[in-house]
Amino acid sequence: MMSSLQTRLARAGLGFVLAILLLLIPGREVPVVDAPADAYFESAMTQAGVAYATCRVINATVSVIGDSEVQLEPAGLGISLAAGKVLDPIDDMTERLSNVLVTAIVSLGIQKLAYEMGVSLAPTLLGIVLIGFSLAALIPGQRTKRLQYFLLRVCALILVARFLLPLTSAANDYLLEHFFAGEIQRANAELALDTGNWQTLREIDFPESDGFWGTVSNSRVFIEKKATALKDALGQMSANLGDIIENLLTLTWLFAGIFVIQVILLPLAVLWLLVKLVNALFALSLPVVLHPHGDKPASESPQAPRIA
């Protein structure tokens, strides 16, 4: 009897001590696990952001060239300069890549938010569950024993949920570093090199109003600068068109692959692991694959009646 009481008191004391530590400890990150996860999210979002910025510069410059039309009307005199639209393939590729990059960045943001919520909430939830475990340990009886085991399983589930996303982040980081990062950096660098002089098109200022003849003179100089810049940019684009499209395609399939791994494959693996863990901890039989309503596996389908 005394031994049983001592065991209950020891369990309750240990549970209370752990709960107090979890609820009062200021730092809630585990450096060995969380530091790589933080580095992964920062690196992945930086690379996606750099690619998106390069893509938007290309898209904006292509739009300037493709739709270039200067309307100057000094005292009713209309002057028009238009450039032909010969860059539709690049424009289309940048739009598609932009959509993929925005999706990848949003996915990374949601994962980072879920990770930060797990870091901040998991200790509090564990502390609350351990307090319940300690209170149950003070009360003798089979029901309270079953409650203790149940609460311990809940603790195990919270711990798994807390560290699962950092572990998947480590897997993502390994894949990103060894299979994607080099190609992404190379494609970004080549795109920046191929489009280095495009920014000059967007830096040409419109002429200021300076009287009729002054405005006409300024407009003539502006049109000459605009035409020269357009000619140089179109020549550079035509020379590098194949390389630009190739690098845009490379970035598109790289970030699409990252998105598929991050949003589809690893979450499905995590879901499978969680379902298996919940089934093992709580003696349940939750299905890993959900069947449509009314569908049954072939082995469970009723046999058709035989006709004599």
* 203 found inside a domain: no
* 91 found inside a domain: yes
79 phi and psi, to 5 degrees? -125, 130
Q: Which residue would you say has higher pLDDT here, 213 or 191?
A: 191
Positive or negative: CA dihedral 163, 166, 169, 170: negative
CA distances from residue 252 to 90, 146, 257 in whole angstroms, order as listed = 13, 53, 9
Both tokens of 239, joined, read: 């020379």
Residue 166: the pLDDT is: 86
The reported pTM is 0.65
CA distance 200 to 218: 19
Residue 288: the pLDDT is: 61
How do 69-72 and 79-82 pair as beta strands?
antiparallel
CA distance 164 to 150: 21
* 108 found inside a domain: yes
CA distance 124 to 22: 7
CA distance 21 to 229: 66
Total domains present in the chain: 1
* 288 found inside a domain: no
Q: Average model confidence (pLDDT) for the chain?
A: 74
Residues 170-208: pLDDT tens digits? 888 888 888 888 888 888 888 777 665 555 555 544 444
Residue 94: give the domain boundaries.
8-45+86-189+232-283
CA distance 154 to 148: 10
* 157 found inside a domain: yes
Q: What's the angle, vertex CA 265, arms to CA 287 and CA 102, rounded to 5?
A: 130
Residues 228-256: pLDDT tens digits? 666 666 666 666 777 888 888 888 888 88
CA distance 282 to 154: 9
Question: Is pLDDT at 160 greater than 50 in this prediction?
Answer: yes
Question: Is pLDDT at 13 greater than 60 in this prediction?
Answer: yes
Q: Which residue would you say has higher pLDDT here, 64 or 199?
A: 64
* 227 found inside a domain: no
* 122 found inside a domain: yes
* 239 found inside a domain: yes
